[in-house]
C-alpha cells in the first residue's frame, strides 16, 4: 500500500504515553488519609511515624520531589515518560494515513446519498484504555465503541496479526482499521442499534447469528472502502486483506484454540464467510452491496 505520501487524519488521539491504569489509577482518597492520620495519632509510636513522615516529606520537597506523588496508585516506572520507537511512530503515521483515506471515501459515499459523514476518532493506546464502553485491555483487540463513536487500537495488535495469526502486511493492518470504521458506518446508519434490539429479543444462538451478520457487514464495508483505492493499492494488497480475514475467522481461531469448531458460538463469522463478504464489498463498491438483512 502506497501510503507515505497520503494526507494524515486529524482525528487520531494518541494515548500511548499514558500507561495502562484504569482512569484515575486508584488514587488514595483524602478520606482514607484522614483515617490513617487519626489512627496514628492514637499511639506514641504512631505520632513518631507521623513526625518522621512530615520531616521526610519536607526533605523530599526540598530535594525537588513531590511527596504527594506517593498518593498515586501508579508506580514511578509507569509515570516515567515511555520511549516510543521509530517503528512504533511509523505505525502510528500509517494508522493516521489509513484513517484519512476512510474519511475521504466514506465522506464521498455518504454525500452521494445526500447525507453527511461524521468522522470517528481513533484512539491509540498501550496496555489498557478507558472508553465510552468501559475499560479494555490490549487483549481485547481493536474495537469500536458506539457510545463515544471511537475506534480503539493498541498497535501491539499489528505484531500479533503478523506473528501470532500469520497475517503480515500493511494492507492486512489497513483491513483491520477499515473493519472497525465499518462498524462506525453501521452506527451512523442505525444498524448497530437495530442489531442490539434484535439480540435482546433472541436466544443466545440467535443473538450470535445476528452478531455474525454485523461483523460480516463490517468486513463488506472494508471491501467497499478498498474498492476506491486503485491508485494506492500495490500488488498483493487485496490478498493480504483476504489472508487476514481468513486468519481471524471464528472457525480458524476455535480450531487453533480447542482443536474443534462450534458454529453456533460464532460471533464474527467463518474464515470463508469473512473473505467472501470482503470481496463482495470490494467488487461491488456500494453500500447496497453489503445488505445482510439487519
- Find the mean pLDDT for residues 143-147: 97
- Kindly report, residue by residue over 248-292, the tens digit of the pLDDT: 999 999 999 999 999 999 999 999 999 999 999 999 999 999 999
Please answer whether residues 224 and 287 qualify as being in contact, where contact means their C-beta atoms are separated by less than 8 angstroms: yes
- Given pLDDT bands bounded at 50, 70 and 90, which one contains residue 42? low
| Other Cβ atoms within 10 Å of 215 Cβ, number | 22
Please answer whether residues 15 and 125 qualify as being in contact, where contact means their C-beta atoms are separated by less than 8 angstroms: yes
Q: Which of 242, 243, 265, 244 is closest to 254 using CA atoms?
A: 265
- Find the mean pLDDT for residues 132-137: 92
| Residue 155 Cα distances to 152, 225, 233, 271, angstroms | 10, 21, 22, 23
- Kindly report, residue by residue over 212-237, the tens digit of the pLDDT: 999 999 999 999 999 999 899 999 99
Rounded to the nearest 10 degrees, how much is the dihedral formed by the CA atoms of 80, 81, 86, 90?
Answer: 120
DSSP state of 153: E
What's the confidence (pLDDT) of residue 61?
Answer: 37
More confident residue, 176 or 53: 176
What's the confidence (pLDDT) of residue 48?
Answer: 63
Q: 292: exposed, middle or buried (C-beta count within 10 Å: 0-12, 13-18, 19+)?
A: middle
Which residues on adjacent β-strands are paired with residue 123?
13, 152
Distance CA 129, CA 215 (A): 23
Q: Which of 215, 225, 214 is closest to 286 using CA atoms?
A: 225
Distance CA 270, CA 253 (A): 9
Q: Is the pLDDT of residue 153 over 50?
A: yes
Q: Is the pLDDT of residue 107 over 50?
A: yes
Cell numbers at 26, concatenated: 486508584
Question: 134: helix, coil or strand?
Answer: strand
Which residues on adjacent β-strands are paired with residue 174?
none
Cell numbers at 13, concatenated: 488521539
Domain boundaries, the chain: 12-17+84-290, 30-71
pTM: 0.79
pLDDT averaged over every residue in the chain: 85
Question: 61: helix, coil or strand?
Answer: helix
Q: Is the pLDDT of residue 140 over 80?
A: yes
Please answer whether residues 245 and 175 qualify as being in contact, where contact means their C-beta atoms are separated by less than 8 angstroms: yes
| Residue 179 Cα distances to 32, 83, 172, 184, 220, angstroms | 46, 30, 11, 9, 8
What's the confidence (pLDDT) of residue 43?
Answer: 74
CA atoms within 13 A on the CB side of 227: 22
Amino acid at each position: 500500500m502506497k501510503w507515505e505520501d497520503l494526507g494524515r487524519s486529524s482525528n487520531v488521539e494518541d494515548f500511548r504515553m499514558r500507561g495502562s491504569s484504569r482512569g484515575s489509577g486508584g488514587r488514595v482518597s483524602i478520606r482514607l488519609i484522614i483515617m490513617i492520620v487519626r489512627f496514628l495519632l492514637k499511639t506514641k509510636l504512631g505520632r513518631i511515624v507521623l513526625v518522621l513522615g512530615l520531616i521526610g516529606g519536607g526533605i523530599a520537597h526540598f530535594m525537588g520531589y513531590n511527596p504527594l506523588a506517593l498518593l498515586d496508585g501508579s508506580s514511578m516506572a509507569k509515570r516515567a515518560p515511555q520511549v516510543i520507537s521509530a517503528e512504533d511512530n511509523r505505525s502510528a503515521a500509517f494508522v493516521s494515513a489509513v484513517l484519512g483515506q476512510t474519511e475521504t471515501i466514506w465522506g464521498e459515499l455518504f454525500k452521494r446519498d445526500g447525507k453527511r459523514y461524521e468522522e470517528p476518532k481513533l484512539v491509540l493506546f498501550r496496555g489498557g484504555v478507558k472508553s465510552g464502553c468501559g475499560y479494555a485491555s490490549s487483549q481485547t483487540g481493536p474495537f469500536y465503541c458506539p457510545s463515544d463513536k471511537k475506534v480503539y487500537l493498541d498497535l501491539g495488535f499489528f505484531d500479533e496479526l503478523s506473528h501470532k495469526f500469520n497475517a503480515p502486511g500493511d494492507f492486512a493492518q489497513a483491513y483491520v482499521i477499515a473493519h472497525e470504521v465499518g462498524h462506525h458506518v453501521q452506527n451512523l446508519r442505525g444498524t448497530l442499534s437495530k442489531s442490539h434490539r434484535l439480540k435482546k429479543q433472541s436466544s443466545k444462538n440467535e443473538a450470535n447469528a445476528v452478531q455474525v451478520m454485523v461483523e460480516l457487514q463490517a468486513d463488506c464495508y472494508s471491501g467497499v472502502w478498498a474498492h476506491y483505492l486503485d491508485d494506492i493499492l500495490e500488488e498483493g494488497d487485496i490478498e493480504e486483506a483476504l489472508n487476514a480475514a481468513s486468519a481471524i475467522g471464528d472457525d480458524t481461531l476455535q480450531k487453533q484454540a480447542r482443536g474443534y469448531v462450534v458454529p453456533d458460538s460464532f460471533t464474527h463469522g467463518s474464515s470463508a464467510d469473512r473473505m467472501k463478504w470482503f470481496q463482495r464489498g470490494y467488487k461491488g463498491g456500494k453500500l447496497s452491496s453489503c445488505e445482510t438483512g439487519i
